[in-house]
């Protein structure tokens, strides 16, 4: 058996200033309740909703336009080398 890196994902690791981190946290927390939970499978109609939420499948994201929604974070990310 071989494990192949079929979908490699780049991961940016960077320490942002505390003020920007606080701004991002406040922004996300203020919108997290708008993120939908997934419905149970159709063959399990009485099952509870998924314990996690995601906007992956939604056309409208909680962070729809990063440069507009969080401009200080965007500038910080763009300055990373």
Domain boundaries, the chain: 16-31+64-80
Kindly state the tokens that stand for 23. Answer: 């701004």
Of the listed ranges 7-11, 26-30, 35-39, the least confidently predicted one is: 35-39
64 CB burial (10 A radius; 0-12, 13-18, 19+):
exposed
Kindly state the tokens that stand for 48. Answer: 């509870």
Q: 3-class SS at 20?
A: helix
CA atoms of 75 and 71, how far apart (whole Å): 6
Counted residue by residue, the chain has a size of 81
What predicted TM-score, i.e. pTM, was given to this entire model? Answer: 0.67
> CB–CB of 21/40 below 8 Å?
no
pLDDT in tens, 48-69: 666 677 787 778 888 889 999 9
Residue 3 confidence class, pLDDT cut points 50, 70, 90: low
């Amino acid at each position: 058996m071989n494990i192949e890196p079929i979908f490699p994902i780049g991961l940016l690791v960077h320490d942002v200033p505390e003020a920007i981190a606080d701004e991002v946290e406040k922004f996300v927390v203020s919108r997290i309740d708008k993120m939908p939970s997934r419905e149970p499978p159709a063959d399990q109609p009485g099952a509870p909703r998924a314990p996690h939420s995601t906007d992956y499948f939604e056309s409208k994201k909680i962070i729809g336009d990063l440069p507009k929604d969080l401009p200080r974070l965007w500038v910080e990310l763009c300055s990373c080398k």
